[in-house]
Structures are given as C-alpha cells and as structure tokens.
Amino acid sequence: MDYYKTLDLNAATATHEQVAASFRKLSILAHPLRQSDNFASNTHTFNQLCEAYQVLSDPKLKQIYDKSGHPGLKNIGTKKDGRTQGAYVYNGKSFEIFSAFFGNSSPFTDNFDQQKVLSTSNDPADPNAPKDIVVKLDCTVNEFYNGSLKTFKFFRQKLMADGRSIQ
C-alpha cells in the first residue's frame, strides 16, 4: 500500500501540515458513519486513511517508510532466524485515531476548530450565567388536551460568542 497515494500526496514534497490537511479532508468524507449506504467499503477506505496518517504523521515511522517502503516498515527489527520484533502493525483503531486527531468522534461536526462542548444548561453556582427565560401562557383544559397555537412576544438581550456577555 502506498500511504502517500492513499492521502493524495506527493511523496517527494509532502510536509507534516499537508499530511494533516489531507487526512482532515479525506477522513471526514470517507467516515463510515457519514456515508452509511456503503458501510463496508467506507470502513475499508477509512481504515486505510487512518493507517496512512498514523505512519506519515509519526516522524520515526515516516523515515523508515520513506527509506524502505511498506515492506521495510512491516519488517522493522527482523532477526536472523526470521522472527520479527518491533515491526509496525496497524492496530485497526481508526475511530480512536480520528477522535485523537479531531478531538471529537463525530464526523458530523462542521466546525472542528471549536472542539469545546458547550453546556446547554446554566450553572446555578455561576453568578454571571444568563437566567433562564420563563414564559407563562394561559390555556384552557380544552386547548391543552386538543392542542392550540398561541402567539406571544418577548424581548431578550443578545449574548456574545463567549456565551456570557451581553450585546
């Protein structure tokens, strides 16, 4: 298997940044949970991408791969009696590689720059936390049971990107 070809890179000029950028783009597209219609094929492609990234992002493994190719990488530390010791073996943990790279296991997250998961509930111990909006609507038992549409207006202050300060 040619790891550079898997990641659509030029072996002579590929930098660490290019390896990461290519993995970022291709792994999201090939993630099996994102394209579930052909799960087996996408899992195979996704595993190949993760293996290529794992080798090319590790300077030691990349150096061995560049020097000896795929067979050299698989036979690191071969002894005279034919046993291999310390050879690289892909562990198949592609979802862990994806999660470690993105800091998130979801292939559906569009903004991978903002990995911090924001809480949707207010911390009651935080004095600066915005207060919950409580709206009381009057309705009859008949409206409650059968359903009804009610219109109301309320005004709120707009929160800034930090989720705390008010505009």
> Does pLDDT of 111 surpass 60?
no
pTM of the model: 0.59
CA dist., res. 39 & res. 84, Å (int): 34
Residue 46 in contact with residue 34, Cβ under 8 Å?
A: no
Q: Which two tokens stand for residue 111?
A: 């903004």
Tens of pLDDT, residue by residue over 72-100, are 787 765 555 655 555 777 888 888 888 88
Phi/psi for 84 (5° steps) reads -105, 140
CATH class (in words) of the domain with range 3-102: mainly alpha
Mean local confidence (pLDDT), 146-166 = 76
Contact assessment for residue 49 and residue 27, using Cβ atoms and an 8 Å cutoff: yes
Burial class (CB in 10 A: 0-12, 13-18, 19+), 56: buried
Report the candidate in 46, 43, 4 with the shortest Cα–Cα distance to residue 28: 46
92 — phi, psi (to 5°)? 75, 10
